[in-house]
Amino acid sequence: MIGFFIRIFNYANNHIKNVMYKIRVYIFSARYRVDYINPIVIPESVDAERRPPESIVQNFSGRLSRFDYKTIFYDAYVNHGGRGVRLCGPPLRNLSEYVASSVFRIDGNDISDNIRLKDESKKQKSRIVGRKGRELTVINEDFEISVPISLSDSRTFRSKNVLVTLNKDNLFSWIFTWASFYVKAHGVNALLIYDTGSTNYTADELCHMLSLVPGIEAVVVVHWPFVIGPFMERPGVKAEADYMQVAMLDHAREKYLSAARSVIHCDVDELIYSNSGVSICDAVQIAPNGAILVPGIWISSETVSSRRPLIHCDFRHLDPTMDPCLPKWAFSPVRLSDGADLQVHRIGRIGPLVADDRFRLAHFRGISTNWREYRTNYDSPSQYSAVCEDICHFIRPFL
């Protein structure tokens, strides 16, 4: 008889937990919101830190202000279905043994045996298997840090055409124009923006502005205050430690976008245009491997417009001094293989990913805060500048 009541109690307890989990997911998945992630970072007072790649160390001495020396995990969140906890972050590299020697707890219970640390290319895909809870604690001889464990959210972007990017202090007029173009040209109806520490406006102000874009049905702005990587800090340093953006794409796919209809990865200064009238959000539904690579061209910052601030339609000349810009991509989450590796300018481990000639990427040098290099001279077009007819025919009608 006692056993019977124990079984009834356990059943009721588990049922209540499941109901509470669903309530948390429902509350979490508001259509317009700012999400704050829960990083674990080694304190500055502690000597332990990540070493830069050898190729960078050989070429440059001293500390790089844009290299992430201290972050262990960017975020800890429950996997879809609640089967465990995902630990997203930059690759641990030399910190692997240091972190592995720590004690891990969830809600006060030691779960160190459930930790699976794993570096993969430029990101970390660590996890806690078979355990979940509300709070993660990491303890070692140098520090003890506790952070909340957040929930995955596939509800907000379910069946949506989503545009995803990083942002820092881009002008609202640029962002509004960019989002509006993708709504009109490709049927985008949702935005996932990772804000890396804007100082000209708050994440809430950004979210509110984006909610006003006609046709946008859902906006999530993720507070993502991490350094971009040292490859653009000094000339000649290649993109070998751009951990933050690569991990961001992995975080976006796993935490938010698993049930989206389509995903476009483009920055605020990049517009994908179609020379066939086909939306790229529709094209990925039948594309081989479920993904499309889009080659690009540079659009000069030369202009004859007196408007200030300038927006995309004020630029229409090719930059004759530049090689073609690096490509971007779009994919269908339900068709892309689970093992696909999202990188900034390619998708790996899905077989050949060829460019689709129906689409081009226009990369506008005049839409820039000059954070990487000085681009916005806004000179009058030179005699050598040629008008990009594609801008006139395939982009300006949507702006």
pLDDT score recorded for residue 17 = 47
Spatial neighbors of 37 by CB under 8 A, at least 6 apart, are 74, 75, 150, 222, 223, 224
Q: 287, 303 in Cβ contact below 8 A?
A: no
C-alpha 173/C-alpha 190 separation (Å) is 18
- DSSP designation for 169: S
**Whole-number CA gyration radius for the chain:** 23
pLDDT score recorded for residue 239 = 60
Q: 201, 190 in Cβ contact below 8 A?
A: no
SS3 content of the chain, % helix, strand, coil (to 5): 25, 25, 50
| Average pLDDT per block of 10 residues along the chain, 399 residues long | 55 52 50 96 97 79 85 94 91 97 97 97 94 96 97 96 97 98 98 97 98 98 92 56 94 97 98 95 96 94 89 89 90 95 94 90 91 69 78 84
Q: 243, 91 in Cβ contact below 8 A?
A: yes
C-alpha 229/C-alpha 245 separation (Å) is 9
Residue 95: closest CA among 113, 68, 76: 68
Q: Tokens at residue 219, please?
A: 């906006």
Residue with tokens 């502005």: 209
Positive or negative: CA dihedral 241, 245, 248, 252: negative
Whether the pTM exceeds 0.95: the reply is no
What are the pLDDT digits (tens) for 163-216? 999 999 999 999 999 999 999 999 999 999 999 999 999 999 999 999 999 999
* Cis amide linkage into residue 309, ω under 30° from 0: yes
pLDDT score recorded for residue 21 = 43
pLDDT score recorded for residue 399 = 83
